Amino acid sequence: MESTTRFLVIVLLGVVLICCNNNKSVNGYFTSFVFGDSLVDAGNNDYLFTLSKANLPPYGIDFKPSGGKPTGRFTNGRTISDIVGEVLGGKSFPPPYLAPNSEDEAVKRGINYASGASGILDQTGQLFIGRVPLREQVKYFEETKMQMVNKIGDNRTNNLLKKAIFSITIGSNDVLNYFQPSIPFFGHHHHNSITSLIFQDFMLSNLTLQLKRLQELGGRKFVVVGIGPLGCIPFIRALNLLPSGKCSEEVNELIKGYNNKLNGVLDQLNKDLAPQTIFVYANSYDIFLNIIQNHQHYGFENRNDPCCGGSIPPLICFMSNNNTNNNNNNNVMCDDRSNMVVVLSFQPLHFHSPQLPKTKTHYGLGVARCGIAEPSGKPAPFGEKTKYKDGLFEKGFMSLFGRKMGKFAAKEKKTERESSKGFWDYDYDSFVDVSKRVMQGRSRLQQQEVVREVLLSMLPPGAPAQFRKLFPPTKWAAEFNAALTVPFFHWLVGPSEVIEIEVNGVKQKSGVLIKKCRYLENSGCVGMCVNMCKIPTQDFFTNEFGLPLTMTPNFEDMSCEMAYGKVPPPFEEDPVSKQPCFSEICSMANPSSSICHKLQA
């Protein structure tokens, strides 16, 4: 469960990195351009002569905007691009390119070019006849841009594209075509003709060409989704005669190799095109595999069978015409979709797991929302604790950090109660309590080192080095990370806002004003604020990430100012080193000392 939440953190971080910095279009709308296959197709195939269609029930049965009617989406609800758009503030979804008059919406909402059965390679999906390969999708976008220029002018179009999100979710069908048996008149079986390594490189070279073309056409913010664990889907397991619960290692090894190379390609593109352009890799493989392997933790009963359509083509799925239980008929939509991980042999479900917040889906994307429960909507006055209304997502972060820190904490007396606590049962008080127990018996430097180890354990291998490549210590990087801090650390410190500060004589919006630090007001401890938050966070960004950060807590009102790009002073020269305890509210205070004793150890 911890590893799953870690993946949620990484994916959310990647999306927020490129999306928090004002992505509204020139007309104030959120604009996105979507490329891919059936995972994100919003109805383009409805306008093609193709065997790959999703225009009949039960497709869309759980899609509220259409009232449960099919829209051409190859799932029972929303697609990943729909969810990302909603998370980032979109009020409606980009229309399919092939729909009538879709170009009228390009400036407001963007366009969806994705096509079911399509792939990176032109020949992928020939069996289904009609589809729009990635190369043609990019050509369609080029036509869209020309229409936008004619409508709003060249400068406004370029400005809009710089702020828009370009998402690419494609490659699964290429892999499936590589492994499926040969079919007369529809090409040969690549599996027996070229090696997996050559096939990976062939896919990547073609994908890279299209990514560069989109960048040349004006795209600047890209989310590229890796391929999921196709070796575990019913179609591949049936194809390889694998027993229930087993995955094809051969298929998954090819995908892991491809994803690893894709990550490297995106790193190189970031290096070559930074800072104007950024590519973020979304790790769908690990997220979805973890859900399959730990399905019961998410409230699912069946990870092996599709909800509808059987495991091998033609994958026909239809609604039942009576009220009887049709779960024994593979072609009839299952009665309880909430118990199934996949809706079709190829397609994951859009689901609401009882063990995850309702904003979550199988892609692991959500939004960090931490609401103040005070009637005023503002933090409580000094000396009073602000009331918060935390959701499961916030508790997930609290639990993850708390459990990581708990490995270093002094043993709690009520170990039986603690050991029986579920993952989502942790709250902010539990998180603060663990922090206090970490302080016990440790010096100031030892406390800071614990936090450093916990922060490093939250990141994938090599993340600090990649951060340094993506975000050299520039004004842009400082402002970018300030924008990221406000939504991403809301759960930890409470409400905050980006402010303008001066760094080396230059005014920039790389400051963050935390209005009343939740960590400080809940702990009431100066030592915890300095040793467990301020100093290790400063050091982590400055030394590990290479981006200077100075944090200046105000112990008069418990606010705090974060200044990205500003080098922090040595501890001995920092005013916090002389700060006395909160003698009236801190249980660990030493009233007789003029300086907090936790800062002297």
Q: Flag whether pLDDT at 437 surpasses 50.
A: yes
Q: Flag whether pLDDT at 357 surpasses 50.
A: no
Task: Measure the CA–CA gap between 144 and 148, rounded to whole angstroms.
Answer: 6
| pLDDT tens digit sequence for 6-65 | 434 444 444 444 444 445 554 545 789 999 999 999 999 999 999 888 888 778 888 888
Look at residue 165 and give its three-state secondary structure: strand
H/E segment holding residue 364: none
Give the model's pLDDT for residue 305.
Answer: 64
Between 17 and 534, the more confident residue is: 534
Q: Which two tokens stand for residue 238?
A: 């049936």
Q: Flag whether pLDDT at 366 surpasses 60.
A: no
Report the chain's terminal Cα–Cα distance, integer Å.
Answer: 36
pTM of the model: 0.60
Q: Where in the chain is the domain with CATH 3.30.1380?
A: 392-408+425-578
Look at residue 59 and give its three-state secondary structure: coil
The class level of CATH for 392-408+425-578 reads: alpha beta
- Those residues with Cβ within 8 angstroms of residue 384's Cβ, 6 or more apart along the chain or in another chain: none
Strand pairing category for 559-564 and 549-554:
antiparallel
Residue 48's alpha-carbon distances to 33, 38, 97, 129, 531, in angstroms, are 20, 14, 12, 9, 62
Q: Are 52 and 119 in contact (CB under 8 A)?
A: no
Give the model's pLDDT for residue 385.
Answer: 83
Looking at every residue in the chain, the average pLDDT score rounds to 78
Q: Mean per-residue pLDDT for 94-121?
A: 90
Give the model's pLDDT for residue 2.
Answer: 37
CATH architecture of 31-348: 3-Layer(aba) Sandwich (3.40)
Q: Where in the chain is the domain with CATH 3.40.50?
A: 31-348
Between 331 and 496, the more confident residue is: 496
Cis, bond preceding 570 (omega within 30 deg of 0): no
Task: Measure the CA–CA gap between 349 and 351, rounded to whole angstroms.
Answer: 6
Q: Which amino acid is at 469?
A: K
Q: Are 337 and 351 in contact (CB under 8 A)?
A: yes
Q: Flag whether pLDDT at 425 surpasses 90.
A: no
| pLDDT tens digit sequence for 456-480 | 887 777 778 877 876 788 888 888 8
